Structure 1
Amino acid sequence: MQEPPAAKLTSRESDVLRLLALGLSNRLIARRLDISEKTAKNHLSSIYLKIGATDRTQAALYARKLGLIGPRRNATSTPASVPASAPASIPTSVPESPRVPEGDASPTGPTLTTREQGVLRLLALGLSNRLIARRLGISEKTVKNHLSSIYLKIGATHRTQAAIYAQCVGIAS
């Protein structure tokens, strides 16, 4: 993924990108910003083009790298990247890290198998299930099973959350 300067994004595109990185769907992004779902999709298309992303996961990782979202932000303070004109409904902090089920808790987080770490690393690079399967020499169904297990262990509900988790714990490098 290319990394052109973030200055190319309009303030509205930054808002859309921030909400996308928080894991919101196009519908919820549109509701939060009081725009139509079609407009949200158009903003996302423009964002992908400007930052060189091909999917939501890459865009979310890019937003994190820019500091549009980040771990342990204070919910009462507004980060510098939030424009003063931003609607009050735009979250300025990231929800807490996904919760680890009590039985799997360890000082470094949940225990992922070597294969699960490999799947998570490739997911964080933006690869589809099909490409992950090809790269690892396993079936697509096996990739889906590994992802289900990963999501359960790290408390994620979708790919973007898992990719952000992988970056936070250093698996995505």
Structure 2
Amino acid sequence: MWTTYPFDESERVLRATKLSFVDSVWEILGAFLGRVPLVHVQSPRDPASAQLNLRSVVLDNSTQFLEVIQSENVTRFTAVPSVLEVLLLQTTEKDRNATLSGLRYVLSSGEALRLHVLQQLTTNLPDATILNLYGSTELSGDVTLATTRRPYR
């Protein structure tokens, strides 16, 4: 991943996964080693909490979540497929087009990515690369990667 999808100086990474989820390591260290800003999303349910639950952020206010991505110029973020699906279901196409156009990479990890979610992602994010990562925590992360760009039918 490091050499195939390198960071450039204009990127900004959204840190939205729980620290107990192995993908948080890539979010934090990837941004740090890539020398790019790390945007931290705080859960509206418990602003003082050190742990973040992206599912609650998206479920509580998907539109506000999209606004953070846009206002902070986020270029990559990681989420489990079920959160990506909720994000697609709870927002309008107009809102997604207005707020997600700056995304370059969306990393889907932690669950199986269903075909209909992948198709919606590639349709709604025509300029982004969707990385479907899969593996097991016991192996310290992802072991397979599928790259998808628009259109995927």
Q: Give me the TM-score of the superposition, normalised by structure 1.
A: 0.23
**Structure number with higher helix proportion:** 1
Q: Give me the TM-score of the superposition, normalised by structure 2.
A: 0.25
> RCO higher in 1 or 2 (8 Å CA, sep ≥ 6)?
1
**Structure number with higher strand proportion:** 2
